[in-house]
Each structure stands twice: as C-alpha cells, then as structure tokens.
Amino acid sequence: MAWKTKPSATIEIQRRTEPYLTQEMQARYTAELLPRYETKHASLLPILNDVQDRYGCVAYQAMIEIAQFLELKPADVLDTASFYEAFTTEPVGKYVIGICQSVGCEICGHQAILDHVRNKLDLEPHETTEDGKFTLLTLECLGSCDTAPVALINDDLHENLTIEKLDQILESLPD
Ligand code: FES
C-alpha cells in the first residue's frame, strides 16, 4: 500500500454518504466468498481485492465497512491492507507501473528504468499523474529474476526491460 505517513493519532477519516460495500457486494460475498472459508476473517483478502478493483483504492471508510461486515476490528483490516502494495487508500491511476527494485532487478539496471519513468512522467513512487493516467510504484521481487529487469503494468508483466522498450509500452497504452 502506498503509505506516505501514518498519522494514526490525528487522522481524519473522510466519509461519503453512500457505502462502499453496497448491498449487491455484501450479498455476493455472502453467497460466493464466505462459504469457501472456515472463518469470516479468511475472506478479507478477496474482499480487499474486489474493493480495490472496483474503486481503485480501499478508502478508510471502506475498511471500516469491511470490518463490520466480517465482524473484525478495523485495525485488523488496516493491518492486512497496509501489508500489501496492491492496496491503496487513495485512487490509483488507470495504469499502475510497478517497477521491481529487488536485488535481481537492481543489478540488471532497474534504477535507470525507474529514473526514466520518474523524469518522463514527473512522478515519484506512490504518486499519480494529474490526469489520473499513471501511478508509479516500486515493488519487491516479482518472481521473474531470470528476465530482469521487470515491471508490472496493471496485471501484465514486462520482462527484459530497456528504456526504449518501456517507452514503446507506455506510448501504446490508450488514454
Ligand atoms: S528481483 Fe526483480 S523479479 Fe526478482
């Protein structure tokens, strides 16, 4: 998750009137997810994934609603959500560029690729372009060290990256 700071004591949760967990979502989770697991808690990850996909983030209000639905403490949901880079508290861009920064990619030149994206899009990791098109992340090993350097763009893994290859990929993405 894209944590910049953790102002736990002073954080003000922005709330909206309509719930994140709609009746339709709760009915679907009850019918399809809860029966798969021995405990409600075990449904937490698939629900976080669903909320992230639907809203582009898991807002704090959504975490509270998920906690209520699963009869957990909000802190339990926050603990899990904050552990994974895949979950963000603010909406991400249409395309999330996740550049692997672990040692295999590091020795194969990940820094030049990361710097190129930072300069090209005027972005630092965990930031999103003003037009909402791109979010930049740095990720840990993506399990493809033999084709380093690699990056995930949304769900697609791009291997043996060069700056030229990455430019071609970025320019091919529709607005
Ligand atoms: S170190 Fe980058 S994929 Fe393993």
CB 158 within 8 A of CB 151: yes
3-state secondary structure of 88: coil
Q: What is the reported pLDDT for 6?
A: 58
| Radius of gyration, CA atoms only, the chain | 18
Q: What is the reported pLDDT for 2?
A: 52
Q: What is the reported pLDDT for 8?
A: 62
Ligand 1 contacts (CB < 6 A) are: 100, 102-105, 141-145, 148, 150
* pLDDT band, residue 12 (cuts 50/70/90): confident
* CA separation for the pair 173, 18 (Å, rounded): 32
Instruction: Point out the ligand 1 atom lying closest to the alpha carbon of residue 103.
Output: 1
CA nearest ligand 1 atom 1, residue: 104
1-90 CATH fold: Arc Repressor Mutant, subunit A (1.10.10)
95-171 CATH fold: Glutaredoxin (3.40.30)
* CA separation for the pair 97, 75 (Å, rounded): 28
* pLDDT band, residue 85 (cuts 50/70/90): confident
Rounded distance from Cα 80 to ligand 1 centre (Å): 23
Rounded distance from Cα 90 to ligand 1 centre (Å): 26
Kindly report, residue by residue over 24-59, the tens digit of the pLDDT. Answer: 999 999 999 999 999 999 999 999 999 999 998 999
- The residue-averaged pLDDT of 104-115 equals 97
User: To the nearest whole percent, how much of the chain has pLDDT over 70?
Assistant: 94
Please, what's the largest Cα pairwise distance for the chain? Answer: 50
Nearest alpha carbon to residue 152 among 93, 67, 72, 95: 95
Note whether 1-90 and 95-171 share their fold. Answer: no
Nearest alpha carbon to residue 160 among 120, 115, 80, 105: 105
* pLDDT band, residue 90 (cuts 50/70/90): confident
| pLDDT greater than 80 at residue 5 | no
- What are the residue boundaries of the structural domains of the chain, listed by start? 1-90, 95-171
* pLDDT band, residue 142 (cuts 50/70/90): very high
Mutate which of 114, 138, 141 to test ligand 1's pocket (most atoms within 8 Å of Cβ)?
A: 141
Rounded distance from Cα 101 to ligand 1 centre (Å): 7
